[in-house]
Structure 1
């Protein structure tokens, strides 16, 4: 798994062993909008995110954490902020570029194993159009589980609901 295939929400692969499923982090297939595809961000928005990271990473980290975790979950925001701040600026910027500028849509057609796509209903980063795109392109008869929540990282914002989706 490469870094650009991060855990935003998951696609869970059923390896033929009943309810046991393993994380298959391909949820973020592309953040950048293109003709006929809505990834959630325009070029100018991604440029602004990268500029914010580069110009004041220590300020960007808690703002991003409160956005993607949930502003009312102070402990998780604090822990995620601490995790982000442990990265050197160069590493964080390189990771952000890889994540926000990657395009992994071609991989979806090669997924032939049945899987479950988990999407947060009020995901502030990934629009539901990405989930629909994945559902349409994955060959392995995917199912979609919507979790009623805010944030972005289902394993942080709604860990109990996300774990129920994976059995």
Structure 2
């Protein structure tokens, strides 16, 4: 049975805030979170923009039955979902703000269907998480590190969540933020989380970066366990029309831990 446009938007918990007469911002969340991660940032833009948020397959309020590890074995399936949101809502020239993997999804989507996008903002994003000794690329992880991560997820997922979440948030003086990430990460079915993490961490889209034709703002924080500072410099050198900004924030989730810094950076870019 075919899925109608309205069915797809309901399945992905699409939220629309504001009038269609306003320019549109699409917020796309990263692994382990859902669209609620944007709540500290989105309201700052509600007066001037229509806001659209959604949940990626395998996360948030999306029915786990809609996730297939065979279908979502590359980032391009998620790109297809993003483009379908844009198509079903008849969007054009939107501003895409993507955190982590969704920043990369936005870049790939802009290559495939450039008419949907006017500008892109990538927050804590990476084209490849693995180091590459042949080219000298620093992605942050060795394969042995990732194999250990996958093994820990398989052995006891919830123990892994309780340890990984505060490390990724990197805000020990504000443990509530780490607990919040642990909550949304823990709500993902363990087998889905393992499959999604493998798809993300084993991806390599460095070769696609020169094809990005839209203006891009790259926002990175300090001491990010998943994205070292060299990645921001690599993205900036590889994307023709990009600006790199390191903000006064730590960890992989600056839109949650330092929303004021992120809002200021986005506002200046826009």
* Shorter-chain TM-score range: 0.7 to 0.9
1:62 maps to 2:62: no
Equivalent residues in 2 for 1:7-156, closer than 5 Å: 7-8=99-100, 22-24=120-122, 27-34=125-132, 35=134, 36-69=136-169, 70-140=171-241, 142-156=242-256
CA distance in 1 between counterparts of 2:130 and 2:233 reads: 16
1:161 maps to 2:248: no
TM-superposed deviation, 1:150? 2.0
The DSSP-based 3-state class of the residue aligned with 1:109 is: helix
Structure 1: gaps spanning 5 or more residues: none
CA distance in 2 between counterparts of 1:96 and 1:67 reads: 16
CA distance in 2 between counterparts of 1:55 and 1:163 reads: 39
Higher relative contact order (CA 8 A, sep 6+): 1
Kept in 2: contact 1:21–1:166 (CA 8 A): no
Q: Deviations over 1:43-81 (max 9, x none)?
A: 111111111111111011121110111222222111111
CA distance in 1 between counterparts of 2:126 and 2:213 reads: 18
TM-superposed deviation, 1:23? 4.1
Structure 2: gaps spanning 5 or more residues: 1-27, 29-74, 80-97, 108-113
Could you tell me the TM-score, scaled by structure 1's length? 0.84
Q: 1:41 to 1:66 in 2, by over 3 A?
A: same
The alignment yields a C-alpha RMSD, in angstroms, of 2.7
Count of residues in correspondence between the two structures: 160
Q: Which has the larger radius of gyration?
A: 2
Could you tell me the TM-score, scaled by structure 2's length? 0.54
